[in-house]
Amino acid sequence: MRRPLTPARNAVERVQTMQEVLLVVHLMLAIAIVITVLLQRSEGGALGMGGGGGGGGLMTGREAANLLTRSTAVLAACFFATSLTLTIFAGQSGDRKSILEQSEPAGSTNQPALPAGPTVPTDK
């Protein structure tokens, strides 16, 4: 049986859920930025949208370039905003341990073992 949610516990769970959703949106934005950058025509050709000089398409090469440039800028601004928001959420969490400290077993210590005897020669 689950314990009833107290207002403080409910708020913590809502923040964690919001953080998870924001992380998914952040990853989707990163993938979208990669795709839009790869679609842009560069000096070397890259993946480019091709197009050719045949007119009659939905958009001319210049219009497509402007659209991709603007969409890349919008995606980058959204990516930046989600990065800052995720950083703020991470800074407000109660536990300030690193991932390495969290995964450490309870009984282990990070101190080196003491030597069994003298480490320098004692005879002259």
pLDDT digits (tens, 9 = 90+) for 17-75: 888 999 999 999 999 999 999 988 766 554 555 555 444 555 666 777 788 889 999 99
Query: How far is the C-alpha of 70 from the C-alpha of 38, rounded, in Å?
Result: 14
Tell me the CA end-to-end span of the chain in Å, nearest whole number: 74
Q: Is residue 98 in a domain?
A: no
38, part of any domain:
yes
b/e per residue 29-61 (b: at least 16 CB within 10 A): beebbeebeebbbeeeeeeeeeeeeeeeeeeee
Residue 40 lies in a domain: yes
pLDDT for 96-112, tens place per residue? 666 676 665 555 566 77
CB atoms within 10 A of CB 92: 9
CB-count exposure of residue 75 (10 Å: 0-12, 13-18, 19+): buried
Domain assignment of residue 106, yes or no: no
| Residue-number span of the structural domain to which 18 is assigned | 7-50+61-92
Q: Do the domain assignments include residue 83?
A: yes
- Phi, psi dihedral angles at 51 (to 5 degrees): 100, -65
pLDDT at residue 43 in the model = 60
Burial of residue 19 (CB within 10 Å: 0-12, 13-18, 19+) is middle
CA-wise closest residue to 22 among 84, 75, 112, 72: 84
Per the domain annotation, does 16 fall within a domain?
yes
**Considering the domain boundaries, does residue 31 fall inside one?**
yes
Domain count, the chain: 1
34: in domain: yes
